[in-house]
Amino acid sequence: MKIDHFVLTVESIEDTCAFYNSVVGLNTITFVGTDGEIRKALQCGESKINLHQVGQEFEPKAGHVMPGSADFCIIVSEDIESLVSRAAKLGVKVEDGPVSRTGAVGPLMSVYIRDPDHNLVELANQLL
């Protein structure tokens, strides 16, 4: 099994895309939903993070949508120290780390940051 996608409800799709492009290195993709609506997502390996504008969510949706309620981990290929350096240059504060954590398949070296909606984003290197 694997995760195909999950949804973040955000205040600004543009700000969210800019953050994840510049800080994390994810690419923004545009696609047409089955309802014909143009949508945005962040490509994350073989998965994606669909973006819903708060107040304009697509149906069906979670029971209690709100920006800033997510807490998730993205495995990155970039060295954590390089990522921390770039984040600092972009004015992004590291909340915690680098710290050792346990991921789905083994040990991680992680840092924690907040995105524009204050979601807690763990960025990690796998230590296999």
* Catalytic hit among 46, 59, 78, 122: 122
End-to-end CA distance of the chain: 20
Structure tokens that stand for 28 in this block:
């923004």
Q: Is the separation of the CB atoms in 51 and 62 below 8 Å?
A: no
Type of residue found at 80: I
* Active-site residue, 59 included: no
Just list the catalytic residues: 122
